[in-house]
Amino acid sequence: MPVITEHGAKQLPSVEIDSYNLEIRDEEGFVGDRASRAAFANIIEEWREPLRKIGADPLGDQPTEDVSKQELDAILKDGDPEAAGLVHSAIEAFAKELERVIRRFLKVASWRDTEAIVIGGGFRQSRVGELAIGRTEMLLKAGEVPIELELIRNHPDEAGLIGAAHLMPSWTLEGFDGILAVDIGGTNIRAGVVETNLRKSKKLDKAKVWQSELWRHGDEKTKRDEAVERLVDMLRDLIKKTEKAKLNLAPVIGVGCPGLIRPDGSIETGAQNLPGNWETKSFNLASAIREAIPEIGKHETAVVMHNDAVVQGLSELPVMRTYDRWGALTIGTGLGNVRFTTRRKS
């Protein structure tokens, strides 16, 4: 097996990873659980419950779990003032929770002196999410916490693929048009082809998703091995499409996956939202992918795995490299987290 870098590496070509998949507990449980997509839905429900009892719920009979981000955004823009007021109240409450979570992270040694945090995940891809993040930054600065909160610039779905190009040394990508990338989440699995566009910029700031495929495994009852087979089918389909388009793929696959990744590519902990048991030592996702796709373009396949928040954060490296110490939070099924130190060439 060709070795590019170990899985879950603490030192990457452009950054040192000071911490990732950090799980902080307090008397209420995991701190990160208070700043997830589910946490926001719970806040909406808490506001609706007393209104529902007096017949004044502005959202009517629709269950909270069925109210989409798009519907909430529409309520803010053109909805009934009472309904918009409810959403604004939830945004304020969530921002206060996110502020508390960030303050707690900043107390951890590996997060001290963080200058900026980029925020991604599905929650960011909505006006509701943007307002909650903006309000959080105001609360932090008003509380004399001098930190910048940045919205991830690429669409979060694409950021989880683009960041994979930063997992490996640039020499592995030279002479090729793109790489295969995988983003595994608690609800979706996405596979795509990332065009690196190295001819335009060696810093990968011109990298973009050429094509991708999505499977919402959260909507189905599936087992781990079935999920891997489905992922492999997606990758094989993408390889065929690149061959037809005469796109020259590097023989590497970058994978972002929830949890703490061991150097051998197995998952130590944190994959509880995935279908089946992904944390047993007898299962190795990187090996399973490599065995199913042993070659790409007549070259032996190499697979590099890292935590999904790490990969999504790396997509922002071209603009965040101005900071020495910076982090990323991904607000989705859970709260992904990573803290980076930018490596400077001497």
Any idea which architecture 155-311 has in CATH? 2-Layer Sandwich (3.30)
Domain ranges of the chain: 25-151, 155-311
CB 167 within 8 A of CB 204: no
Amino acid at 173: L
As a whole number of angstroms, the distance between CA 268 and CA 288 comes to 16
DSSP code per residue over 60-112: TT--GGG--HHHHHHHHHHS-HHHHHHHHHHHHHHHHHHHHHHHHHHTSGGGT
**Looking at residue 1, what is its pLDDT?**
40
pTM for the complete prediction?
Answer: 0.91
Listed residue (18, 46, 34, 151) closest to 99, CA to CA: 34
For strands 25-26 and 29-30, give the pairing: antiparallel
Per-residue confidence of the chain (346 residues) as pLDDT tens digits?
Answer: 445 668 999 999 899 999 999 988 887 878 888 998 899 999 999 999 999 999 999 999 999 999 999 999 999 999 899 999 999 999 999 999 999 999 999 999 999 999 999 999 888 889 999 999 999 999 999 999 999 999 999 988 899 999 999 998 888 898 999 999 999 988 889 999 999 988 888 888 889 999 999 998 878 888 999 999 999 999 999 999 999 999 999 999 999 999 999 999 999 988 888 888 999 889 999 999 999 999 998 899 999 999 999 999 999 999 999 999 999 999 987 889 999 999 987 6
Cβ-contact 302, 89 below 8 angstroms? no
Supply the pLDDT for residue 4. 62
Give the 3-state secondary structure of residue 236. helix
Helix axes 81-106, 127-142, angle to 10 degrees: 50
Give the separation between CA 237 and CA 256, rounded to whole angstroms: 19
Cα–Cα distance, 227 to 277 (Å, whole number): 11
What pLDDT, on the 0 to 100 scale, is given for residue 157?
A: 86
Distances from the Cα of 332 to the Cαs of 186, 273, 282, in angstroms? Answer: 8, 11, 28
CA torsion sign, 112 to 115 to 120 to 125?
positive
Whole-number pLDDT of residue 343: 92
